[in-house]
Amino acid sequence: MVEISAWAWAATIALVIALFVLDLVVAVRRPHAVGIKEATFWSVFYIVVALLFGLAVWAFAGATAGTEYYSGYIVEKSLSVDNLFVFVIIMARFEVPAEYQQKTLLFGIAAALILRVILIAIGGAAISLFSFTFLIFGLVLIWTAIQLIRHRNEEPDVEDTFLVRRARKLFPLSSDYHGGRMLAHENGQRVMTPLLLVFVAIGSTDVLFALDSIPAVYGITQSAFLVFAANAFALLGLRALYFLIEGLLERLVYLTIGLSAILVFIGIKLIVLFLHEDVSESIPEIPTPLSLVVILLILIVTTIASLIRVRAHPEEKAKPGTLRKTKKQEEEERAPR
């Protein structure tokens, strides 16, 4: 496992916080609708920062660590595209004005990063204490992939999460955005604006995505530092990426199938790693460079196949997929025919 010094941790955390503050200043200083030029600039900026960070890892921690970081980053970035599908649904469902969307996205992403740090720590501790954690992670990823395939043409019910339901009970919901605030006063009563509900929806739905993305990146590297870095840099660029590819998302009709294939591959990799360490060392591990090639190949094939399919069938629209049926779908199945 890659050994990372305390100063490297401190420097990385400081960089992530600085980038978040920069994003916050850009998003909150002057609320506005994000154009394609601005979205392109910031998307390229965050990708370049992530790639340069990988070069630093390569230089200071070695080629193995660098390859693991890049592989983990690509996995997290590809899985985060599914997050963007849900973000689009949330923004449309709550009818968020264009000038407030990036602020809401940024706060939701910040909450998601904090929640993922907790899950990363739990995952790292589990791997250190229990050797069969790799087996559990592998089976979880394969189960997740199967569920995504089964429900690939469905949309998650973003208003039916536990945290959203709790938020509705804590404060009355206003129909006014109150200049982009999350809490306000109406008739002497404290109310929450739709932005707060959107923020809670984004943060809570990302927890579900983290349940597959965290085990997936642990399938690439067992270094908590590299897992954290891959997650942080993938999430930081989501705000700009959302506005850049918002229109392209619905054309990626095979994205869910591609992501499911990646999850199955990494799940098998984790199970093989468990067998190698706990059953017999003669069972070969799947090397990280091969994982990187396979993941990139799946993404390229998925994207090209999606674009070809949509060109031939322009009426088809991509769905984000879900891990379970929504309440509405369950009620429709139970209803007498």
Most confident stretch, 16-30, 200-214, 263-277: 263-277
Q: What distance in Å separates the CA atoms of residue 19 and residue 238, rounded to the nearest whole number?
A: 13
Contact (Cβ atoms closer than 8 angstroms) between residue 73 and residue 54: yes
Q: What distance in Å separates the CA atoms of residue 208 and residue 157, rounded to the nearest whole number?
A: 12
Q: What distance in Å separates the CA atoms of residue 117 and residue 237, rounded to the nearest whole number?
A: 17
**Residue 300: is its pLDDT beyond 70?**
yes
Rg of the Cα trace of the chain? 21
Per-residue pLDDT of 82-116, as tens digits, reads 677 777 777 777 777 777 777 777 777 787 788 77
Per-residue pLDDT at 128: 75
Per-residue pLDDT at 70: 92
Per-residue pLDDT at 334: 57
**Residue 337: is its pLDDT beyond 60?**
no
Per-residue pLDDT of 229-272, as tens digits, reads 998 998 888 877 877 776 666 777 888 888 888 888 888 988 88
- The mean per-residue pLDDT over the stretch 300-317 comes to 85
Among residues of the chain, what percentage have pLDDT more than 70? 84
Per-residue pLDDT at 132: 78
What tokens were used for 286? 């799947």
pTM: 0.76
**Residue 333: is its pLDDT beyond 80?**
no
**Residue 208: is its pLDDT beyond 70?**
no
Per-residue pLDDT at 57: 92
Q: Which DSSP string corresponds to 134-201?
A: HHHHHHHHHHHHHHHHHTTT----TT-SHHHHHHHHHSPBPS--GGG-SEEEETTEEEE-HHHHHHHH
Interacting residues of 308 by C-beta distance below 8 A, sequence separation 6+: none
pLDDT band at 15 (very low <50, low <70, confident <90, very high): very high
Contact (Cβ atoms closer than 8 angstroms) between residue 239 and residue 106: yes
Per-residue pLDDT at 311: 85
Among residues of the chain, what percentage have pLDDT more than 90? 10
The alpha carbon of 150 is separated from its chain's Cα centroid by a whole number of angstroms, namely: 20
Per-residue pLDDT at 320: 57
Higher pLDDT among residues 280 and 300, named by residue: 300
The alpha carbon of 99 is separated from its chain's Cα centroid by a whole number of angstroms, namely: 23
Per-residue pLDDT at 69: 92
Interacting residues of 32 by C-beta distance below 8 A, sequence separation 6+: 99
The closest of 112, 106, 41, 116 to 72, measured between CA atoms, is 116
**Residue 53: is its pLDDT beyond 90?**
yes
Buried b (16+ CB within 10 A) or exposed e, 209-246: bbebbbbbbbbbbbbbbbbbbbbbbbbbbbbbbbbbbb
**Residue 278: is its pLDDT beyond 70?**
yes
- The mean per-residue pLDDT over the stretch 308-312 comes to 87
Choice among 131-145, 220-234, 243-257 with the minimum mean pLDDT: 243-257
**Residue 305: is its pLDDT beyond 80?**
yes
**Residue 67: is its pLDDT beyond 70?**
yes
For residue 208, what are the β-bridge partners?
none
pLDDT band at 303 (very low <50, low <70, confident <90, very high): confident
- The mean per-residue pLDDT over the stretch 280-290 comes to 81
**Residue 329: is its pLDDT beyond 60?**
no
pLDDT band at 12 (very low <50, low <70, confident <90, very high): very high
**Residue 46: is its pLDDT beyond 80?**
yes
Q: What distance in Å separates the CA atoms of residue 49 and residue 43, rounded to the nearest whole number?
A: 10
Interacting residues of 33 by C-beta distance below 8 A, sequence separation 6+: 98, 99, 101
pLDDT band at 325 (very low <50, low <70, confident <90, very high): low
